[in-house]
Amino acid sequence: MVIEGIDNLFIDIIERAKALDPVNTRNWFDKLTLLHLNGGTLGIGCPDEATVEYLQEHCKSTFTRAAQECTGYLVSVDFKVDHKGQEQPALRESKKRLKLHPDYTFDNFVVGPSNRLAQASCAAVCHSPGITYNPLFLYGNSGLGKTHLLHAVCCETKKNNYKSSIQLLSCEDFVNRFIRAIEQGEISDFHSQFRTVDMLVIDDIQFLQEREQSQEEFFHTFNALYHNGKQIILSADSAPADIPSLEERLISRFNWGLVTRIDPPSYETRVAIVKKKAHLRGLTISDEVAEYIARKVQANIRELEGALTTIYAVSITTNEDITLQSARAALEDQIILGTRAVSITDIIDVVTNHFNVRLSDLQSKKRSQSIALPRQICMYLARKLTRHSLEEVGGHLGGRDHTTVMHACNKITEVQENDAQMKTLLQELTKQINQMQYS
Ligand code: ADP
Ligand code: MG
């Protein structure tokens, strides 16, 4: 296949892809390179493995469609690391297995009073791993940037020393791999995977709660690394001592280094984050729109981003620029692509109001029936009425893991099948939640 003006064509393909899927568009799309167009395949060059994974996961069909529309041929696309790219091959190779999110870098992290200490301690650890703060323990509510910072640390540490071996994983993954290693009799492989690294980074360590054997295993992993001067970084939804049923010896170890909290961002930080996220998507929004979004969404940065996405999606479908009026209409009516969307906040408002409890109770560790029932109902309704994942729903309700949410949904489903009163209550709550969309 010989195509004239192929470089311009490639620019057209990128522009077309951006228009087709603005939500997943990033400003670095312009840095993608054309590797080849032959045998019906368009090779697209990416700077690193993280970018390849992002495109593969979120943008494959969009790029394929863009390529087919622009070339008029039935081409497929193939994302590959561009070996002429700037990153050193050795660094590229060593980052390959880490599965870092390309957006989660220090450059893309907005620093403010709520996260300054956490960001600074993460940055310090990259320069002297195992020495400055060990372990480093970050905690804070869901959606405040813990995972983002952990990825940024790994990325930066690799840049400083590509030879350092790093394991980055969620605690859930750690536990699952441990269970699998026991089942398959491969525990010594498991030990060598985790006890010989230079840096071990585990996200959402609260997942260890009530898992005694995994706690025991992690205790020995911790000791082996610590005594060899290797860096350990952990994140959780609460301070070590507040993680339920966590062994005392782990709590004390987590406090050996630096424990740092991330708070919800101030208004100014939220404005800066909205602008940063808009820039990352190659979007221009006015100050007043950024300020409006920052006022509207306060507690969770993930929701802040969601609001920006909603506004953007509406502007694309209506083909209008983003103005304060359109932003307001998009968020207040929550009309996403013609369908009305319920938010978790609506659900929480209606449920807490009905049961006369506070959101902070639902997010707390309290397990009394008067709190547990409304919490479970929130989880059930959130899964039924929104498109949030189990993890996201758990995140809103005090950082509970997906199994807890699943359990709650099953329980409420079961109860309502056998209990007409519960069924009526759920119908009534759903009606109120839907009415909120019109108020
Ligand atoms: P957590 O792990 O604490 O639940 P995440 O790290 O997943 O939160 O962050 C949720 C979203 O908010 C991510 O898209 C992340 O990039 C973004 N985010 C959080 N804090 C910041 C910040 N200070 N600057 C820019 N983006 C942020
Ligand atoms: Mg996280």
Give yes or no for residue 273 CB within 6 A of ligand 1: yes
Ligand 1 centroid–CA 273 distance in Å is: 9
Outline where 21-74 has alpha helix (H).
Answer: 49-58, 60-71
Give yes or no for residue 270 CB within 6 A of ligand 1: no
Q: What is the CATH number of the domain that holds 22?
A: 3.30.300.180
Q: Atom of ligand 1 at shortest distance to CA of 115?
A: 23
pLDDT in tens, 97-139: 778 888 999 999 999 999 999 999 999 999 989 998 999 999 9
Residue 358 lies in a domain: yes
Give yes or no for residue 399 CB within 6 A of ligand 1: no
pLDDT in tens, 411-426: 999 998 889 899 999 9
Residues 6+ apart with CB under 8 A from 35: 43, 44, 45, 80, 82
Residue 1 banded pLDDT, cuts 50, 70, 90:
low
Ligand 2 centroid–CA 149 distance in Å is: 9
Ligand 2 centroid–CA 137 distance in Å is: 13
Ligand 1 centroid–CA 125 distance in Å is: 19
- 252 pLDDT above the threshold of 60: yes
Does residue 290 share a domain with residue 170?
A: no
Give yes or no for residue 77 CB within 6 A of ligand 1: no
**What is the percent of the chain where pLDDT is above 70?**
94
- CB crowding 89-112: b at 16 or more within 10 Å, else e: eeebebbeebebbbbbbbebbbbb
Give yes or no for residue 302 CB within 6 A of ligand 1: yes
pLDDT in tens, 137-154: 999 999 999 999 999 999
Proximal ligand: closest to the CA of 266: 1
Residue 339 banded pLDDT, cuts 50, 70, 90:
very low
Residue 109 lies in a domain: no
Does residue 145 share a domain with residue 229?
A: yes
pLDDT at residue 133 in the model: 94
pLDDT at residue 434 in the model: 76
Give yes or no for residue 144 CB within 6 A of ligand 1: yes
Residue where a domain terminates, one of 261, 290, 306: 261
- 231 pLDDT above the threshold of 50: yes
The span from the CA of 296 to the CA of 207, in Å, is 31
Q: Atom of ligand 1 at shortest distance to CA of 151?
A: 6
Rounded to 10°, the helix 287-296/301-318 angle is 130
- 237 pLDDT above the threshold of 80: yes
- 186 pLDDT above the threshold of 70: yes
Does residue 244 share a domain with residue 280?
A: no
The span from the CA of 62 to the CA of 69, in Å, is 11
pLDDT at residue 335 in the model: 40
Using an 8 Å Cβ cutoff, are 311 and 322 in contact? yes
Does residue 140 share a domain with residue 61?
A: no
Residue where a domain terminates, one of 299, 331, 363: 331
Ligand 2 centroid–CA 154 distance in Å is: 15
Q: Whose CA is nearest to atom 11 of ligand 1?
A: 302
Give yes or no for residue 115 CB within 6 A of ligand 1: yes
pLDDT at residue 95 in the model: 64
Residue 432 banded pLDDT, cuts 50, 70, 90:
confident
Give yes or no for residue 122 CB within 6 A of ligand 1: no
Residue 321 lies in a domain: yes
- 79 pLDDT above the threshold of 90: yes
pLDDT at residue 320 in the model: 81
The span from the CA of 148 to the CA of 165, in Å, is 19
What's the chain's average pLDDT? 89
Q: What is the CATH number of the domain that holds 257?
A: 3.40.50.300
The span from the CA of 182 to the CA of 260, in Å, is 34
pLDDT at residue 87 in the model: 63
Does residue 276 share a domain with residue 199?
A: no
Does residue 273 share a domain with residue 206?
A: no
Give yes or no for residue 214 CB within 6 A of ligand 1: no
pLDDT at residue 2 in the model: 52
Give yes or no for residue 167 CB within 6 A of ligand 1: no
Residue 372 banded pLDDT, cuts 50, 70, 90:
very high
Q: What is the CATH number of the domain that holds 273?
A: 1.10.8.60
Ligand 2 centroid–CA 43 distance in Å is: 33
Give yes or no for residue 226 CB within 6 A of ligand 1: no
pLDDT at residue 7 in the model: 78
Proximal ligand: closest to the CA of 140: 1
pLDDT at residue 338 in the model: 35
Ligand 2 centroid–CA 418 distance in Å is: 37
What is the residue type of 63? F
Least confident of 22-31, 87-96, 97-106, 354-363: 87-96
Q: Atom of ligand 1 at shortest distance to CA of 104?
A: 16
Residue where a domain terminates, one of 216, 240, 261: 261
Q: Whose CA is nearest to atom 9 of ligand 1?
A: 145
Does residue 224 share a domain with residue 152?
A: yes
Residue 50 lies in a domain: yes
* Structure token pair of residue 99: 């599965």
pLDDT at residue 336 in the model: 38
pLDDT at residue 315 in the model: 80
- The sign of the dihedral angle between the CA atoms of 108, 302, 49, 3 is negative
pLDDT at residue 243 in the model: 93
Give yes or no for residue 142 CB within 6 A of ligand 1: yes
More confident residue, 82 or 4: 82
Question: Around ion ligand 2, which residues have CB less than 5 A away?
Answer: 146-147
Give yes or no for residue 276 CB within 6 A of ligand 1: yes
- 89 pLDDT above the threshold of 70: no
* Domain span holding position 68: 6-85
- 307 pLDDT above the threshold of 70: yes
pLDDT at residue 4 in the model: 61
Does residue 250 share a domain with residue 279?
A: no
- 205 pLDDT above the threshold of 70: yes
Does residue 316 share a domain with residue 219?
A: no
pLDDT at residue 300 in the model: 86
Which range, 127-131, 163-167, 176-180, is most confident?
A: 176-180
Does residue 279 share a domain with residue 257?
A: no
pLDDT in tens, 6-46: 778 899 999 899 888 877 889 889 889 999 888 889 999 99
Does residue 272 share a domain with residue 257?
A: no
Residue 103 lies in a domain: no
Give yes or no for residue 240 CB within 6 A of ligand 1: no
Residue 318 banded pLDDT, cuts 50, 70, 90:
confident
Residue 396 lies in a domain: yes
Identify the bridge partners of residue 76 per DSSP, sorted by sequence position: 41
Domain count, the chain: 4
Residue 152 lies in a domain: yes
Q: What is the CATH number of the domain that holds 422?
A: 1.10.1750.10
Largest CA distance in the chain: 71
Residue 411 lies in a domain: yes
Ligand 2 centroid–CA 146 distance in Å is: 5
Q: What is the mean pLDDT of residues 229-255?
A: 95
- 47 pLDDT above the threshold of 90: no
Does residue 409 share a domain with residue 372?
A: yes
Least confident of 58-67, 230-239, 270-279, 385-394: 385-394
pLDDT at residue 116 in the model: 97
* Structure token pair of residue 327: 């932003």
